[in-house]
Structure 1
Amino acid sequence: MRTWLLARVHLGTVAVLFVLTLSACVLVAGLPRAAQSSYDEALRRALTAAPAVQADLTVATQSSGRPEDLRERAQFDSRERLWREIVPAGLRPLTTGAGHMSAKTELTPVTGTSGSMYVNLGWLSDADRRVDWVQGRAPGAPTTTRYEGGTIPVFEVGIVEEALPEMGLRLGQTITLGENDYAAVKIVGAFRAKDPGDRSWSHDADVLHVIEQQPPGGKDHVKHITTLMSDAGLTALSGEGRNLTYRWVLPLDARAADAMDVPGLRAAVVEFERVVGLQTTGSPYRVETALPKLLGDFLAALSTAQTVMYLVLGGLLAVALGVIVLAVQLLADKLEHPLGLARARGGSLRQVAGTAAALAGLAVVPGALAGYALSYLVPGPVLPIVHAGPVVVVVVALAYAGARTALTHRAPLHERRDDVATARPSARRVTLEVLVVVLALAGAYLLRARGLSAAGGQDPFLLVVPVALTIAAALITLRCYPYPLRLLVRLAARGRAAVPFLGLTRASRARSGSLLPVLILLPALGVSVFAAVVSDGIATTQRTASWQQVGAPVRVTSESEIPAEAIERVRRLAGVERVVPAQTGRVQVGYGAERADAIAVDVTQWRDLLDGAPVGLPPLSDGALVSPELRGRGTIEIGWQSRVKLATRGVIESVPGFYTHGKFMVVPIGVQVRPAVNTLLIQGDVALPELARLVPSAVVTSQESALRAIQDDPLTATVRWTLVIVTVALAAYALIAVVLSLVIGAADRARAVSFLRTLGLSERQAQRLTVLEILPMILLTALVGLGLGLGLPAALGPGVDLSSYAGDLPVGDYSPGLLLPGALAAGLAGVAVLGAYAHTAISRRRSLGAVLRVGELP
């Protein structure tokens, strides 16, 4: 047959099929690329945001005596080359950066301090690149001195500038270290970090800052500082008699990270740890890193994101294929007469089916190729689905076109009756459908009861249950929708008007082919509403999380007391409406070593400041609000500025902006003799840089900036944008399905209306008849689809943990308003009604002779 001639005759239908195929292939191939690109960016950001001491690979060992001591830089360099050689291939692209080495003693007490002050010896291979000497000079070679009848080494060291006053030290001072194996250090210089924000300093925080620790059961804090010595100092540094640790740091380059390689990276780290352990020559070597935990946390968030993506993208693909099948069916209906004539004139079944498939291919293949090419405009890696998605679309469209045509024309001039009711289903089919419904409900119950599998990765159960629920809802809809219609038909039969009876009767006797839109509309509405509900739940929880993180519209916190003059300047700042001062700190509970976090604040003013926010506090005028760990104690005595006894007035799970777990309490600020304000809670539209300028020692945060930080996370942004795009796409496909279903049944409907027009049916009656015929199925499907979409989040329950995208708060508030369901239902009903009126308007311009054949008039 002349395929090109048929394509030109039915150019409009071919063009519709081309556009639908193009849009489906763009979405199916483009969205996964965008999602995978965001996964990669999220992994890189997670590794970059983590402290280097957690993300980097650090090989460490301890020296227990002179045979294991490393006395010169060359010995460190040779071992670093060894570590880089045995790094597994999967980790090598991430460990190409220049690392550094160190030698440090630990818990080296200052002689005579009874363990209250520790000054450790340290050496950094890249100290000349990382520090500037601001006082004195750089350390030189060690010397010796006599002490208690023996000779001990004297190390020349430098110390960070801030430690001199804090530790009570001075330049030129010589300090004796140890309690039995003595050594001495001479402080010859003080340094500052060239770049305190350099990630590598997280490995050496003990060099850059004084570390204060409180021993278990102790009341006083113990101070630690690590000094720096020169390369020459290594010759006298020994692990004999002191805790000496050597470390080689292989920094991680997050720019080379790929989310698809995360399982392989975790395995590579384990392999690296195993191989490093085999290099032991004395004291064992070990790998210090939190990279497996970082990758595991990322995988947990990624698994949830992928699950949501699989659900919505799988639903999008199914709906897109259904709409394309509808368009193919429309094309096949238009070809039914010429292909039937060709079959009657001796055309083989293969020729007829091949012609239909070839005509569909003229639209589908170019559309798929164009959509596949346009998907490359979306940045991101090329995944297998990028190639497979368009192929699936083409295969399904061509297979349906050929199979349907072969089935329709399997016998020449095959006639069928479309005006009779469908046959009653067999007992076997009914049993199978009931089994599907029961299994879907049981699966939803088990998913809620057991949660996700502990094996990690994608839980197949989570992916199967939504599909089963959708199929069950579709089966129930298809089987049950005739019964309410038949009841309406009986009621309409008692009336005098014929239009309601005829319209509802035709709707209840719709042939099986007209039920295909149900299988499209139901998942389209279900998935789109599910996506919208989840997106709304994430947005609501994100806002709650931002308030939970900050605790006020704007918060100013300082480690030291904020002067009263600075507070007054903040009050007078333009845009400031209210300032609530507060004091935070650690308090002693009772007279023992128990400690708790506390905030002293005017709770009434704070509650007024939080008016309208999704977080809050119970009222408090006296006493204290305590955490669950402190409940049941009645009156609590605390030591802060003075000893205070406070009655417990309530138990709170968290304090917005401050405490979420552990032991904490909220007390009135009046319990302080003289409040040392170190926190300001501010309401108003105020510039954050101006606040930072007025209180230089403070950290300024706002609820809006915290919300932006949560929303700007790559994984979070991708999940929300994908949900929005899928919601819009599925709503559009649902509307297209309604239009196509109207067009597919247009010929049969026009023929019936033309018959009735010969009996005196008016134009207005014809419009009402058409609306009553198509509207019941669409409305019923819309209601079921909306119910399915609203119920899926609750049905999945703990299976979808979206807290990673909502500031680590669980997303459980799936209570959308009626705007979205109403808009979707009204949109579908409106399109159906408009289609009905348009159909009757078009049919009115046709003559009866163009529709009815001779002999068909009553």
Structure 2
Amino acid sequence: MTEPLSPLGHGDVSWIRARLRAAPGGAAALAALVLVTAFLAAVLPRAVDGYENDALRDTLRQAPLAGRSVTMSLGVSRLSVPNGAEELITPQAVARTEGAFQQVVRKPLALDKTQTVYGVRSADATPAVDPGLPRPSKSLNPQATLFAQADLAGRTRIVSGRLPGPGYDSAEDTSVVEAAVTDRTAKVMRLHPGSAIHLQDSFGSDLTVRVTGIVSPRSPENAYWDAGPDLRAPTLITVRPRPDADPKFYWHFTALISPDATAALLGLHDGAQVYWYHPADIAAFTARDVPAARDRISALNAGPDAARLQELIQQPGLTVEEEGLAGLLTPFLRERAASQPLILVAAVGVGTVAAVVLLMAAGLQVTRRRPELTLLRARGIALPDLAARLIGESALVAVPPAALGLGLALLLFPVERSAPSAVAAAFVAAVATFAMPLRALAAARRPRLEQREDLIAVRPSRRRTVAELTVAVIVAGAVVALRQRGTAEGGADVLTAAAPVLLALIAALVLLRVYPLPVRLLGRPAARLNGAVLQIGVARAGRAPSTAALPLLAVLIALTVTSFGGSVLAGVESGRDHAAVVKVGADARVQSTVGLALPEGLDARVRRVPGVRDTLGVRVETGQILQATNTRYDVLIVDPGRYARLTRDTGVGTSFPAAALADPGRGPAPVIASPRLARQIGHGTTTVYTAASALDVRVAATVPETPAVAGREFVIVSEASVHRAHPGAVSSATRPLTLLISGEHIDGKALRAAVRGAGARDVQVLLRSEERTAYGSTTALQSGARGVYLAAVAAGAGYSVLALLLSLMHNAPQRRALLARLRTMGMTGRQRQTLAVLEMLPQVLLGAVGGILVSVATVPLLRPGVDLTALAFSTSTPATDVSAAVLRTDPVSLLLPSAALVALACAVLAVQAWATGRRGEGTELRIGDRA
């Protein structure tokens, strides 16, 4: 190769082939690394899309028809529309309105036309006065709603009788209408073909419904049968006339009339209601469409689409309801927005670590091929020709594995979008293709004399110092801007996600600068000790290698991302625990739901329940109003000493100042109030009203929260003060309304049995363990985000281990030569292993300690930008107090990964030293070698 060859010529291809044949192991290892990295990069966006889409579709499937639909409604009565009301509820008019709506709907609001349900129903349920109908409570008549939906014949099978017709001969005679009922309705309500149902409302409207047939649904799961809560079967309704009265029950059922008989509904006082349910197309709805779809729904309610819809149908009373699908999408967007910063932090962190590992692999290749590159340059190859050969070689190794990784990701994770995955895999292929050629060109551009890689200049170059200071200033400015901004901009952004990387970069620069100093200081006392192992180990450890920056950066980022994940999980668990304690107030709680005192024997029965340690009766009187500010608050009547012990056991609030409630014997009673209420009351006195009577009080102390009441303002007064002020009060006015129970592993079934055995009625039994379990039942979105993040953390840990191994491999030849030479000088195998560990241990400890420090700094930095509320709680299990669901430093997540990394490095070094001794000196030492 005396003359340079043109790029991509025959010689280049032969050279590339020869290079790959010469080092097949290295090429295969790099190809495997690129394959795994490209696969992970392509999988991440598809996995996120996958779990978000699955969570959205699962939410839509579980919702009732009205909850997952864009609903239109139109109220029609003879009062609201004196003339032409019948024309608005004919099948033709209802169908025309549906056609106009379909013209207005635009993508990405995906609605399932095959599941659309529309029709006319009676605006309100009407009592049925026939004596033969079942009445669970004799004083309450059953109530009926009439539905007229299209295609009744196609949706039902006739069990007996026939389908209904109009039931009247002229539009003026609409007092009788025909109807069909389902088989389950007929069984419960004792109906059969020929039965007559007389509907009479309180305004004197009268309508006779003749049952012509009994039908059964062809497809009960179809949205057609979900338009009403009891289209398929009656519903037993519970009512309570007064809070302290026994409940009463009545049946509500549905009768199906012909769409041509809707004029009969206008005979009822409230008239008819036309409805259109447009359920979401579950298969076509994706999570990325949710924000735009919600905007489309808003535009249908009040916007350009609403104006166009009114222009097409000319019906001013028509409304598009704000609830339904829009109400379902809002909590989904909130949970999705809460998980996005978490996923983005993992993606940026793991992506940076993967890129660093690819750069390290390229640097290792360049280091081992430096003599070859020097020889090529000496023989006259031009830099462009060398670049073409190296790029061709790298592309041949990197591009096919990256394409294979992308293909596997597309195959294993089928979702709608593929562009983000393709871009991620292409980026990985580009980094793997150009990293080694660029490093090689930088090394070959200016040939230099061979020198040891484990030495560093006493005074770093000015160029390096300026570059490091520039990077440090820019990164520090970004971190300060992030800290000052907090959550003002909301949502997930790259700056928030890059905070661990930025902190790790600053830490790496600082640690590399200060690292040699303490190690070299340790070398002075080590030199005075007997034995050469410690002296040589400390001396070699003090020579900071010039290649330590990338491995240190990779280790710092991976440890930070791992620790951040532990902080997230710790914050979620702590928030759920605190919310459960705040909601219950103790380990268990028995409280009256109607304001009646608990039975006198309840306390003794509950104490005998397995697991119960102590009980405390508290009287909580709600609905108090501070007249000066119109603030609502609760009055708590407690035993101060026992209540202080309960507060201490639960950990809710600060230490309870029981001494402040000591009754003075005369004058206003001292109370403890919530801070906001205490400020409103001031230093004077006020009057609180209890069931016993009025009580003059003054604020003696404040506490921010208290176990017996959650999320409300409160005043706590001593039982002694109440009895002093009202010695003759009846016992029912001072007995507890709430029983707070302490204990471990309380048997909930036995507790409820004890409450029933004591004769307690209208009470609610809460257990902290059950509430905590309810908070732990995560939604599909929460579990999906957690799974993706944990997988990303695992990948980051794997890359950090790989970075450590590449770092050890970089200096492996020199280390093996040194150990072999020391073996010829009589050093034992155990001493060589100790020396290998001592040489690299300070650098590994540097990464471990630095990772801990960066992780500790990351948690308070990211705490304002990461909302754990939506990750810890869901709309189905809302929490009374969510303030504790914040990022918390988790000691296990800080120490365990760092300790594992140190242990792995020590094991690898010890094995390397042992293998060097097994191979012998001849395989490691050559004439002219230097170590």
The answer to whether the superposition gives a TM-score over 0.5 is yes
**Match for 1:79: what amino acid?**
T
SS at match of 2:445: coil
Alignment of 1:68-467 (within 5 A): 69=85, 70=88, 72-94=90-112, 96-102=114-120, 124-126=147-149, 174=200, 177=203, 184-185=205-206, 200-201=227-228, 234-235=262-263, 246-273=274-301, 274-278=304-308, 279=310, 281=314, 283-290=316-323, 291-349=325-383, 352-353=386-387, 356-357=390-391, 360-361=394-395, 363-375=397-409, 376-378=411-413, 380-410=415-445, 415-416=450-451, 418=453, 420-422=455-457, 423-426=460-463, 428-448=466-486, 451-453=487-489, 457-467=491-501
Alpha-carbon contact 2:207-2:267 (below 8 Å) kept: no
- Comparing 774-783 with 98-107, which one deviates more in the overlay? 98-107
CA–CA distance in 2 between the matches of 1:607 and 1:138?
70
CA–CA distance in 2 between the matches of 1:850 and 1:481?
34
Alpha-carbon contact 1:94-1:257 (below 8 Å) kept: no
Structure 2 unmatched ranges of 5 or more = 1-13, 128-139, 190-195, 242-249, 664-668, 720-729, 875-881
Q: In structure 2, which of residues 729, 744, 747 is the aligned counterpart of residue 684 of structure 1? A: 747
Alpha-carbon contact 1:617-1:655 (below 8 Å) kept: no
Q: Which residue of 2 aligns with 1:798?
A: 864
Shift of 1:49: 5.4
Q: Which residue of 2 aligns with 1:180?
A: none
**Match for 1:729: what amino acid?**
A
Deviations 1:761-808 (A, max 9, x none): 665554444333322122112111122123212111221101101116
Relative distance call for 1:71 and 1:643 in structure 2 (3 A) is farther
SS at match of 1:512: coil
Shift of 1:286: 2.8
Deviations 1:480-532 (A, max 9, x none): 32333343345545667655454444334334224321121111111111112
SS at match of 1:93: coil
CA–CA distance in 1 between the matches of 2:82 and 2:888?
69
CA–CA distance in 2 between the matches of 1:666 and 1:157?
65
Alpha-carbon contact 2:500-2:561 (below 8 Å) kept: no
Deviations 1:96-118 (A, max 9, x none): 42323446668999xxxxxxx99
Alpha-carbon contact 1:638-1:644 (below 8 Å) kept: yes
- Comparing 373-382 with 794-803, which one deviates more in the overlay? 373-382
CA–CA distance in 1 between the matches of 2:740 and 2:114?
44
Q: Which residue of 2 aligns with 1:842?
A: 915
Q: Which residue of 1 aligns with 2:73?
A: 60
Q: Which residue of 2 aligns with 1:41?
A: 54
Deviations 1:79-112 (A, max 9, x none): 2232233222322434542323446668999xxx
SS at match of 1:636: strand
CA–CA distance in 2 between the matches of 1:784 and 1:192?
74
CA–CA distance in 2 between the matches of 1:664 and 1:235?
59
CA–CA distance in 2 between the matches of 1:515 and 1:843?
27
Relative distance call for 1:467 and 1:334 in structure 2 (3 A) is closer
Shift of 1:414: 5.9
Shift of 1:126: 4.0
**Match for 2:563: what amino acid?**
V
Alignment of 1:727-738 (within 5 A): 727-738=793-804
Quick one: percent identity of the two aligned structures? 24
Relative distance call for 1:715 and 1:726 in structure 2 (3 A) is same
CA–CA distance in 2 between the matches of 1:34 and 1:410?
43
- Comparing 746-755 with 524-533, which one deviates more in the overlay? 746-755
CA–CA distance in 2 between the matches of 1:67 and 1:173?
25
- Comparing 9-18 with 697-706, which one deviates more in the overlay? 697-706
Relative distance call for 1:105 and 1:439 in structure 2 (3 A) is same
Deviations 1:142-178 (A, max 9, x none): 999xxxxxx99978899999xx9xxxxx98685552x
Q: Which residue of 1 aligns with 2:192?
A: none
Relative distance call for 1:527 and 1:71 in structure 2 (3 A) is closer
CA–CA distance in 1 between the matches of 2:478 and 2:517?
23
CA–CA distance in 2 between the matches of 1:393 and 1:138?
68
Shift of 1:655: 6.2
Q: CA RMSD in A?
A: 6.0
Deviations 1:632-666 (A, max 9, x none): 58653246xx878798998674768x954588999
Relative distance call for 1:598 and 1:856 in structure 2 (3 A) is closer
CA–CA distance in 1 between the matches of 2:626 and 2:516?
77
Give the TM-score normalised by the residue count of structure 1. Answer: 0.75
CA–CA distance in 1 between the matches of 2:164 and 2:512?
85
Alpha-carbon contact 2:206-2:268 (below 8 Å) kept: no
Relative distance call for 1:72 and 1:380 in structure 2 (3 A) is closer
* Pair 1:31-2:65 in alignment: no
SS at match of 2:56: helix
* Pair 1:472-2:506 in alignment: yes
Alpha-carbon contact 1:105-1:242 (below 8 Å) kept: yes
CA–CA distance in 1 between the matches of 2:391 and 2:261?
83
SS at match of 2:488: coil
Structure 1 unmatched ranges of 5 or more = 110-116, 145-150, 165-169, 178-182, 215-222
SS at match of 1:722: helix
Q: Which residue of 1 aligns with 2:723?
A: none
**Match for 1:287: what amino acid?**
V
Alignment of 1:742-781 (within 5 A): 742-753=808-819, 765-781=831-847
Alignment of 1:418-817 (within 5 A): 418=453, 420-422=455-457, 423-426=460-463, 428-448=466-486, 451-453=487-489, 457-492=491-526, 499-546=533-580, 577=611, 589=624, 632=681, 636-638=688-690, 653=705, 660=711, 671=732, 683-684=746-747, 686=749, 703-704=769-770, 707=773, 710-753=776-819, 765-807=831-873, 809-810=882-883, 812=885, 814-817=887-890
**Match for 2:82: what amino acid?**
R
**Match for 1:720: what amino acid?**
R
Relative distance call for 1:229 and 1:717 in structure 2 (3 A) is closer
CA–CA distance in 1 between the matches of 2:631 and 2:541?
75
**Match for 2:337: what amino acid?**
S
SS at match of 1:793: helix
